[in-house]
């Protein structure tokens, strides 16, 4: 190799590191003399993975009803407000979005569970309309308490199996409570008070 060619190759190294290519004539001259032309350089950033901001689905789109109709979902949301209200600085069913979660969960349940909920919510609206002239979602706390009297009766094994409406109320009460205490808002509120032994990052989360 001639000294001039060697010095020219050394001088080109900083340009290669900066992502620049040699002039075409020098690349051709190196190839004519049997010298390697060097690797093909790719401009900086071509192989870099772009950073795309990720936004939770519930912040970019409205929740859609999956299982219940509008009146049924409104009745379930009101039922959650009555049975699982916010307390001691912790969110209740309304703040946790428990009704919307159950709309998804029940829709993925067996057919008899779906029917239990739909018929129970329809019956709840029917009784509210019959007694107070309003759907269940629009009645007061006192009126709602009167319709939910079966939940205050003494429990006995198999009692709810004889009454579909009572079976619905018992099922909905348990589901609304579990959905609330396993929601992200509730877990976040609890984690501010104490650090549980077990991980506190396990909660249900709605996806569209």
What single string gives the DSSP state of each residue in 1-69?
A: --HHHHHHHHHHHHHHHTTPPPPHHHHHHHHHTT----PPP--TTSSSPPP-----GGGTS----SSS-
Structure-block tokens of residue 169: 């109320």
Mean pLDDT, residues 25-44 taken together: 56
Residue 87 — φ and ψ, nearest 5°? -155, 145
Q: Can you say whether the dihedral through the CA atoms of 162, 168, 169, 172 is positive or negative?
A: positive
Does pLDDT of 20 surpass 60?
Answer: no
**For 110-144, how does the pLDDT look when each residue is reduced to its tens digit (9 = 90+)?**
999 999 999 999 999 999 999 999 999 999 999 99
Res. 154 pLDDT band, cuts 50 70 90 = confident
Q: How far apart are the C-alpha atoms of 90 and 189, rounded to whole Å?
A: 6
Higher confidence at residue 2 or residue 124? 124
3-state secondary structure (DSSP) of residue 88: coil
Confidence of residue 162 (pLDDT cuts 50, 70, 90): low
The DSSP code for 102 is: H
Q: What is the pTM of this model?
A: 0.63
Task: Enumerate residues 6+ apart whose C-beta is below 8 A from 153.
Answer: 159
Per-residue pLDDT, 204: 46
Cα 197–Cα 172–Cα 108 angle in degrees, nearest 5: 85
Per residue in 47-94, pLDDT (tens digit) is 555 555 544 444 433 456 689 999 999 999 999 999 999 988 899 999
Band (192; pLDDT cuts 50, 70, 90): confident
Tokens 């009803």 identify what position? 65
What mean pLDDT, rounded, does the chain reach? 75
């Amino acid at each position: 190799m001639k000294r001039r060619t060697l010095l020219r190759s050394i001088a080109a190294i900083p340009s290669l590191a900066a992502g620049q290519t040699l002039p075409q004539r020098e690349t051709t001259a190196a190839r004519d003399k049997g010298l390697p032309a060097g690797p093909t350089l790719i401009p900086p950033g071509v192989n870099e993975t772009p950073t795309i901001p990720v936004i939770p689905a519930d912040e970019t789109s409205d929740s859609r009803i999956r299982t219940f109709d509008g009146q049924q979902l409104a009745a379930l949301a009101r039922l959650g407000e009555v049975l699982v209200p916010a307390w001691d600085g912790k969110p209740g069913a309304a703040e946790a979005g428990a009704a919307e979660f159950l709309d998804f969960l029940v829709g993925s349940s067996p057919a008899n569970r779906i029917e239990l909920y739909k018929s129970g919510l329809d019956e709840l609206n029917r009784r509210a309309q019959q007694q107070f002239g309003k759907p269940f979602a629009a009645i007061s706390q006192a009126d709602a308490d009167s319709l939910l009297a079966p939940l205050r009766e003494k429990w006995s094994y198999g009692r709810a199996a004889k009454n579909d409406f009572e079976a619905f109320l018992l099922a909905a009460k348990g589901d609304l409570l579990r959905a609330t205490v396993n929601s992200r808002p509730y877990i976040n509120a609890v984690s501010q008070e104490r650090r549980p032994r077990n991980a506190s990052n396990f909660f249900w989360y709605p996806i569209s």
